Amino acid sequence: MLKKEHFMRWRRRYIKLSCVEDPPTLQCYTEKDDTEPRMIMTITASSRVVSLSKKRDPANEYVTVVTGPSDQKWQLCAPSKEYVQAWRDKISAAISDVKRNSILKNIKILARAQHDPFLVGNTRYNLPEDKYAPIKVIGKGSYGSVISAFDKEREVKVAVKKMTDIFDDLFDARRVVREIRALRNLCHENIVTLLDLPMPPQPRDFRDVYIVTELVDQDLYSVIYHHQKLSTQHLQFIFYQLLCALQYIHSAGIIHRDIKPQNILISSTCRVKLCDFGLARCLYSSETDSKDSRLTQYIATRWYRAPEILLGCQKYGSAIDVWSLGCVLGEALQQDPLLPGTDCIMQVRLIADLVGVPRREDEVAFVENARARLFLNGLPYLAPRIGACFPSEDASIRCLLQQMLSFNPSRRIKVGEALSLGFFDSVRRPTSERRASHRLSWKAIDKQPLTKQNLQTLIYQEVGNFAKGRHKSLFRRCS
């Protein structure tokens, strides 16, 4: 191969990839029969290989290898693209092996240090030992905790969510059943993927539930507050993917009800994944379809809660997710919460101050509660001032934000309409704007008497159905 050396000149060299050593090395020889290499490069977990094209060089294709903290670089090229591609694949495979071995070594060191490989922090994870190796805690909440783990079968890191003692509160246990049902049936590139549901030991003898999903680098909260302000191009790409995710789940008859930056995962390549369906509920076609058509008012974090929920409306729809997404967009623009109310009354006042309050009778007809309507009428009239809050932003962003944060849910922009705006023209991908093939129904879950035994049976059935579906999918791929 040709290697770029001093004074940017290409020299003919003989390159050898040696995987006998640990870690593997790239060795450069001046002559084919030389016994000692001219240069050696060690392949580390931080190494990367990039294939580039430069027409002014002797060959049309060359591969650059960058390794280690010293940023050592080798530029290699060959007359054919196929030859370069073969080298790129070999070096990439060596880098992957080093990364995998590094993870396994760290896991063994951690296991020896704590004597119990499944004790992470102060929580024990009863996972199949031949399948998972826990690494570290990455999140905690009232529901339990989330850790990263190494999936030995797939050879990738995954996220494991443990929900502890879920039957202490039967309403929370029913939310777990709904979340599993949602993740099991939703399949979209912008929704976190369910990878595994470890089977409980016995149908009548378990208290904890584990949900294994793909591991994503960080959430939108950390991106907003730990990095520089997002550019217009980043906002287009991120919120386009979020709208695609909402269009998909709404077409499946589901509202998320807890859209906030912490529930929006984002990878290093800006791939967005919507997660945490614990508060999600089904939208039913008619009131008689379910006793649960009068949906719970206490949902979502207050700062992202839509006006119709704050004002005690008993029935609402997918427009609440659009409102929450508008609050997230405003937060991303100013790197500060858009509506940080300390209680429900203050939250309504902040909303009124930002978007104004409609005065015409037909515009507030959605507010059924007489006391809530009286409270609205007592607020001083204020004109919408979204534009004044973001004077330096692109006009199309202000327009989108204003339509998402319409006080009246019937006048709020629909997800499909938002996707069609010119603001997203440069990032649109028709394949991402697909709808669900069928609507989900949780009537069987909601109609079950709320007992521990019934909920344990439902969870055991969901886990069994997931295992059957995965087995069928594997059989089809093998066939």
Average pLDDT score over residue span 273-283:
89
The mean-pLDDT minimum among 295-309, 364-378, 465-479 falls in 465-479
Higher pLDDT, 116 or 134: 134
Q: What is the pLDDT of residue 475?
A: 37
Reported as a single tens digit per residue, the pLDDT across 285-294 is 433 334 444 4
- What digits encode the pLDDT tens for the residues 190-204? 999 999 998 877 767
The mean pLDDT of 36-45, rounded to a whole number, is 84
Contacts of range 223-228, beta carbons closer than 8 Å, 24 or more positions apart: 223/266, 224/261, 224/331, 224/332, 224/335, 225/335
> What type of residue is 297?
Q
For residues 281 and 295, what is the distance between their CA atoms, to the nearest angstrom?
8
Percent of the chain residues topping a pLDDT of 70: 86
- Does 234 score more than 90 pLDDT? yes
51 has pLDDT over 80: no
> What burial letters (b/e) apply to 345-377, b meaning 16+ CB within 10 Å?
eebbbbbbebbbbbeeeeebebbeeeebbeebe
Domain 229-433: top CATH class: mainly alpha
CA distances to 112, 286, 300, 316, 424 from 248, in Å: 45, 21, 20, 18, 17
Pick the CATH number of 119-215+448-478 from 3.30.200.20, 2.60.40.1120, 3.40.50.970, 3.10.20.600: 3.30.200.20
Q: What local confidence, expressed as pLDDT, does residue 214 receive?
A: 94
H or E segment to which residue 162 belongs? strand 156-163
Please tell us whether the domain made up of 2-94 is placed in CATH 3.40.50.2300. no
Total count of residues recorded for the chain: 479
User: What integer pLDDT is reported at residue 467 of this predicted model?
Assistant: 83
- Tell me the pLDDT of the chain averaged across its residues: 83
Structure tokens at 425: 């023209």
Question: What does the domain layout of the chain look like in residue ranges?
Answer: 2-94, 119-215+448-478, 229-433
Give pLDDT, residue 292: 46
* Per-residue pLDDT tens over the stretch 371-429: 888 888 888 877 788 888 888 888 899 999 999 999 999 999 999 999 999 999 999 99
Look up the pTM and report it.
0.74
The mean pLDDT of 452-457, rounded to a whole number, is: 90
Report the b/e string of 290-305 with b at 16+ CB within 10 A. Answer: beeeebeeebbebbbb
Reported as a pLDDT band with limits 50, 70 and 90, residue 181 is very high
Q: How many Å apart are CA 245 and CA 190, to the nearest integer?
A: 5
Residue 293 is predicted with a pLDDT of 43
Give the model's confidence band at 108: pLDDT under 50 very low, under 70 low, under 90 confident, else very high: low
User: Which residues are catalytic, by number?
Assistant: 258
Note the pLDDT of residue 286.
38
d(CA 428, CA 76): 37
pLDDT value, residue 18: 85
- Choice between 93 and 263, residue whose per-residue pLDDT is larger: 263
From 455, 141, 446, select the one nearest 296 (Cα to Cα). 446
**Percent over 90 (pLDDT), the chain:** 34
pLDDT surpasses 80 at 34: yes
Q: SS3 sequence, 13-74? A: CEEEEECCCCCCEEEEECCCCCCCCCEEEECCCCCEEEEEECCCCCCCEEEEEEECCCCEEE
Judge residue 78's burial from the number of C-beta atoms within 10 Å of its C-beta, 0-12 exposed, 13-18 middle, 19 or more buried: buried
What is the bridge-based pairing of β-strands 194-196 and 144-151? unpaired
On the question of pLDDT at 11 being above 90, the answer is: no
Quick one: pLDDT at residue 104?
A: 72
Annotate 175-190 with three-state secondary structure: HHHHHHHHHHHCCCCC
Count CB atoms within 10 A of the CB of residue 429.
11
- Give the pLDDT score at 471: 47
